[in-house]
Amino acid sequence: MPTLSEDIQSFKAQFLGNAPAEVVATMNAATEALLASGIENRALGAGDKLPDFELPNQRGEKKRIYSYLEQGPLVLSIYRGGWCPYCNLEMKALIDVLPEIKARGAQLVGLAPEMPEKVAETGSKNGADFDILSDVGNKVSEKMGLVFELPESLRPLYKQFGIDIPVYNGDETFKLPLPATYIVRKNGVIAYGFAKADYTLRMEPAEVLTQLDAL
């Protein structure tokens, strides 16, 4: 069975093979600029405390993040939106190991800046049997040091791809979080954090299980 990184590389190769060279160059330059901004170093990581917050899930129910921690460790998966193919590949890969996450006494929770109805669509499309929280305005991701603004150079390209971020997010800021995965202890301290400026890099579900075993 292919790993998540293998699935991502397969999709990426297909995309790059069909995309014009100038489009690829523009996207690569934006990723390099984001990496150079130092955002990865500003993101919360191991040893930091997860901020407490309350957000609606895909069913409109208000959920406090620390209420999950009362039941055990947490796997928090922060993604850009249901429009992102890499995020959907990651979500499906996490769903595949969800029984193993639960067997370790942990819970999986998703979080995205999408409007509640879009979060619901994303969850339904992927068959997500776990809570996905709607972080409209990126308020939580901002506290976690993950937020950046999509550069002007990429906005027309995204529009060409049929991606309308303001429609998904309900504002005109074009702010997005770095996709990130956090393994959080019951006391709210982050045991492991994975957040990369290159949005095609994602934490392997097998590594999620390894980190849970290490708690």
Q: How far apart are CA 25 and CA 40, in angstroms?
A: 22
Cβ–Cβ under 8 Å, residues 211 and 192: yes
Q: What is the pLDDT of residue 88?
A: 97
pLDDT at residue 1 in the model? 76
Interatomic CA distance for residues 153 and 173, integer angstroms? 14
What is the full per-residue pLDDT of the chain (215 aa) written as tens digits? 789 999 999 999 999 899 999 999 999 999 999 999 999 999 999 999 999 999 999 999 999 999 999 999 999 999 999 999 999 999 999 999 999 999 999 999 999 999 999 999 999 999 999 999 999 999 999 999 999 999 999 999 999 999 999 999 999 999 999 999 999 999 999 999 999 999 999 999 999 999 999 99
Q: How far is 35 from 87, CA to CA, in rounded Å?
A: 19
Give every strand in the sheet of 180-184, ordered side by side.
Answer: 132-134, 107-112, 74-78, 180-184, 190-195
Q: What is the DSSP track for 80-130?
A: S-TT-HHHHHHHHHHHHTHHHHHHTT-EEEEEESS-HHHHHHHHHHHT--S
pLDDT for the residue numbered 2? 87
Distance CA 146, CA 140 (A): 9
pTM for the predicted model, two decimal places: 0.96
| 4-213 CATH pick, 1.10.150.110, 3.40.1010.10, 3.40.640.10, 3.40.30.10 | 3.40.30.10
Query: What residues contact 165, with CB distance under 8 A and at least 6 apart?
Result: 81, 83, 150, 158, 174, 176
Q: How far apart are CA 203 and CA 212, in angstroms?
A: 13
How much is the pLDDT for 154?
96
